[in-house]
Structure formats: C-alpha cells, structure tokens
Structure 1
Amino acid sequence: MSVTLYALDGCPWCEKVHDALEEAGVEYETVWTEALHSKRDEVARVSGQRGVPVLVDEEHGVTMNESANILEYVERTLA
C-alpha cells in the first residue's frame, strides 16, 4: 500500500484526514500511534517530528504533517 496515515485514536485532526481519505476513495493503511509524544519513535523516524497526523504517500514521494496541509493534498492529488 502506498499511502499510510499515522494517527492517534480520538485525535480530531486525524479523524478529519481519515474522513477525507475515505471520501476520496483512497486505499490506505493506518498506523496507530502512542498517546505520549516520547513514545512516537516510528512517527519521528518517518517525518522528523512526533506530532500526528502524518501522511506518507510512497507513490508520490511525499511525507507531510499538519492536517490542513494533508487535507489540501488529498483534495488536489489523491481525489
């Protein structure tokens, strides 16, 4: 799968991205992260920071954070 969403259960920004991906019909994998920032090593490894959501689109070589940026990207590129 070329699209991966790193998310935290109950995170409203993550839910917005999830909803946008679903509405656009994008197949993706969700990697659920730990609540504590200090335990988000995998998120830090792929994005250089520990905040979520993070979207990785391997096909387009894109890794991004910030829900507003991700939502725009989904609408422009993946929809």
Structure 2
Amino acid sequence: MSVKVYSTPSCSWCVKAKDYLKSNNISFEEYDVSKDRNAATEMVSKSGQRGVPVLDINDNIIVGFDKKNIDKLLGL
C-alpha cells in the first residue's frame, strides 16, 4: 500500500490526518509542500488543489481530512 501525505507544518488538519494514520499504524510518506517545490507541483497536478492536506492512497486522491473516504481506501 502506498500512502503519501502532502502537508505544511502550520496546517492543523494536516496534523489531524497524520495523527489519524499513525493511530491506525498506517505508514506514509510525508511531503512538506511549503519547502518542497517539486512535491507542491506534484500535489497540484494530482489533485487540482493548492490546499492541504492532500492524501494519495494507492493513486486515489483525497483533499482534506475526509475520514470516511480515508477509512474506505485503507479498509478500516
């Protein structure tokens, strides 16, 4: 399973999303789009959005902390 989280340090919803993944023992790659321009470009091209968090779960894009869809894609 591939899980990527595009976020910024100052985003409270990003922290909630990452904490939620950690609490369910889901490993993920984190990309700080405020510092990593390539990750920011990748995030916008995948999601069409500039807002964070953006989660990429097995090439399925979730914008925001959408717990219902996260659970569905992770089988929780």
Cα offsets for 1:33-63 (capped at 9, x unmatched) = 118xxxx3222112111110000012xx411
Identity %: 31
Match of 2:24 in 1: 24
CA distance in structure 1 between the partners assigned to 2:49 and 2:10 by the alignment:
20
Matches within 5 A, 1:38-49: 40-49=40-49
CA distance in structure 1 between the partners assigned to 2:45 and 2:53 by the alignment:
14
Q: Is the 8 A contact 1:24 1:74 kept in 2?
A: no
Aligned residues: 71
Matches within 5 A, 1:57-68: 57-58=57-58, 61-67=59-65
CA distance in structure 2 between the partners assigned to 1:54 and 1:28 by the alignment:
12
Q: Is the 8 A contact 1:54 1:65 kept in 2?
A: yes
Question: Any gaps of 5 or more consecutive residues in structure 2?
Answer: none
Give 1:64 deviation, angstroms. 1.1
Question: Any gaps of 5 or more consecutive residues in structure 1?
Answer: none
Q: Given the two structures, how large is their TM-score scaled by the length of structure 1?
A: 0.76
Q: CA RMSD in A?
A: 1.8
Q: Which amino acid aligns with 2:69?
A: Y
